A = this chain, B = another copy of it.
């Protein structure tokens, strides 16, 4: 069975859900180019999961990804995450962030053991993220093999009380050795509209 697909569709102006679509669930508060090229301005965003990519619509920009399988997690780590993490779509999660990222050719030229050594033993990516569970719910979409402008789309949801902690999480990750291999990163901050 093929991995679940996601289409992130950002639009501009008022969005009442044209052509039978529901209105966009998320308003865009700001778009920050952390590293590399920015994304065009937009006012709202739909995150659409399904067996196929959502059909092309008029949009400011569209990004595609797949949920796919774990690339670095080990069994013990995964079991610990499953025990404490919470799923998306909690009613209390009024804030969200979409952070599309691309890693450098140097990252992708490494072998699996080399990437894993940077990812966890040296950068503590999983350990740092775990410090913000269950407050921050997240989902990772892969897109490198799809050939788009990013390698990953990362999605986070949390409540207003966790907004400061989420910023701290981003700050800690961006100081790691792993982030030296990030050559494009855009931060899209969102607020639930309904």
Which B residue's beta carbon lies closest to that of A105?
B1
Min CB distance A150 to B, Å, is: 10
Question: Which chain B residues lie closer than 8 Å to A72 at the CB level?
Answer: 112
Contact of A145 among B75, B112, B146 (CB under 8 A): B146
Interface size on A, residues (CB 8 A): 31
Does any Cβ of B come within 8 Å of A138's Cβ?
no
Do B75 and A114 touch across chains, with their CB atoms under 8 A apart? Answer: yes
Least Cβ–Cβ distance between A129 and chain B, in angstroms = 16
A147-B3 in contact (CB<8A): yes
Task: Let me know if A111 and B145 touch, CB within 8 A.
Answer: no
A97 nearest CB across to chain B (Å): 23
Known contacts A75-B114, A112-B116; 13 further A-B pairs (Cβ under 8 A)? A2-B148, A3-B144, A66-B145, A68-B145, A69-B108, A70-B112, A71-B71, A71-B112, A73-B112, A74-B111, A74-B113, A143-B145, A145-B146
Name 22 interchain pairs, CB-CB below 8 A, sorted by A: A1-B105, A2-B144, A2-B147, A3-B144, A5-B147, A66-B145, A68-B145, A69-B108, A69-B109, A70-B112, A71-B71, A71-B112, A74-B111, A74-B112, A74-B113, A75-B113, A75-B114, A78-B111, A112-B112, A112-B116, A143-B145, A145-B146
